[in-house]
Every structure is written in C-alpha cells, then in structure tokens.
Amino acid sequence: MNRAFTLAEVLITLGIIGVIAAMTIPSVMTKYQKQETAARLKKAYSTINQALVMSQSENGDFTTWEGIVPEDMPSVNYQNRLSLLVKQNIIPYLKVQKDCGIKCKSASDEIYRDGQVQKISNDPSNYVIYLSDGTRIRFFINNRRDENGVATFQDLYIVLDINGDSKPNLAGRDIFFITLSSSNNKVQMYNTNYPLSNNLSECENGRGFSCGAIIQKDGWEINDHYPW
C-alpha cells in the first residue's frame, strides 16, 4: 500500500536534493567552461595558423614582409608599418568581421594573472581585429637591436581573446598568447619551447603568457593541473 509523504518528509527530500545540486552544479559548470575554452582556443589557434601558413606560401617568409624591420621603411612610423603588415599579409587570409586598426575604441582591456592590466583601447602599438566568430585578435611587432644598434626583427606577437570583449578578459581564461617566431617562421603558443613545469609555474604565478602552451601540450584539453 502506497503511503503519502508528509510535508516534513517532502521538505527534507527537497533539502537533500538542493544540497546535492549545490555541490555538483558548480563542478559541472566548471567542466563545461574548461571544455568550451579549450575548444575555442584550438579553433582560434588553427585559424590563425592556417592563415599565416597560407600568407607565407604566397608572400614569402614573414621576416621578409615589407616594413617588418624599421630600416626597411625608415621614414614610416611603427603604427603605419604595423598597419601595412596586418592589412597586406594577414587580413586577406581571415574572415574578419570588424577591422579596428590601431585605434579600436571598443576593445576591452586585458587583465593578466598577476593583476596587471593591458589597456588596448586606442593603444597605437596594437592592431585589433575581430573574426566572424567573435574572436578578438591583437597584433604587435616586437623589435630589438643587435650589438651594433641595428634594429632587427624578433617576433610577431598575437593575442587572442576567444570570446571577444566578453568577460572575464583574463589571461589563461579567455586571453591567450601566440608568437610567429622569426627563428622558424612558425606559429606557436608563447613559451611552448619551455618545459611543462615552467609553463605551469608561469601561468599560475606570472602574467599568464604560458597558459595556452599548457592546453596545447595536454592535447587541447584543460586538465586538473591547469591553474584555472
């Protein structure tokens, strides 16, 4: 014979369900966020890698692109050289939704893991574009001088925000760092040539530049050792 539950029993049951939900839902949400982050990063990395491989097949190694080294165009300032590089050699190979150039007023600032903030709005050292899927990409040239004081090209730096200007705008969560290296003309996650232990330490205790390298080394997954 079926017995009707009393109000007290129903309330106790609902309370137990509530406790279980409170314990499991955050874990499920975190797992989903990690999976989505890794998938978006993999897609964005693949997109920019394919674009730059294609560009170099048509335009030559990127270290030879016009305007890369200041001495190539001594009368042209950095901002114009950066604009020329992106417009001529990168944008044609991407599905760009919005081209902000070097004065992207709408771009949200980036927060590094150590609390430092990179203000990219109206920053003339950056060139910002948004892809059709909402990914924001920031480009800048890293030049250095050799022992003779001659400016030489080092790397092209690429900063991905995999969900555009949406929060948290935090390194290692939705912001990741890539380089186009002059040593091998290849796209790679920042600090990917360092040991995994170094990447983990920098991602957790530094500015977060190495976080993407961890995800790539782990097969485009965010494992338990990742400093989430």
Q: Can you give the residue range of the structural domain that contains 74?
A: 32-217
Q: Is residue 213 part of a domain?
A: yes
Token representation of residue 166:
């949406």
How confident is the model at residue 52, as a pLDDT?
A: 96
C-alpha to C-alpha distance for 68 and 156, rounded to whole angstroms: 9
Helix/strand/coil for 210: coil
Average pLDDT of the chain? Answer: 87
Q: Are 191 and 209 a contacting pair, CB within 8 Å?
A: yes
How confident is the model at residue 76, as a pLDDT?
A: 59
| Identity of the amino acid at 112 | Y
C-alpha to C-alpha distance for 226 and 83, rounded to whole angstroms: 36
How confident is the model at residue 150, as a pLDDT?
A: 63
Q: Is residue 223 part of a domain?
A: no
DSSP state of 108: P
Q: How many domains does the chain have?
A: 1
Residue carrying the six token digits 């949400």: 29
> What is the four-CA torsion angle of 35, 40, 41, 44, rounded to 10 degrees?
160
How confident is the model at residue 176, as a pLDDT?
A: 98
How confident is the model at residue 167, as a pLDDT?
A: 94
Task: For the chain, list residues with pLDDT below 50.
Answer: 75
How confident is the model at residue 81, as a pLDDT?
A: 83
Q: Is residue 127 part of a domain?
A: yes
C-alpha to C-alpha distance for 34 and 228, rounded to whole angstroms: 8
Residue carrying the six token digits 């966020």: 33
Q: Is residue 132 part of a domain?
A: yes
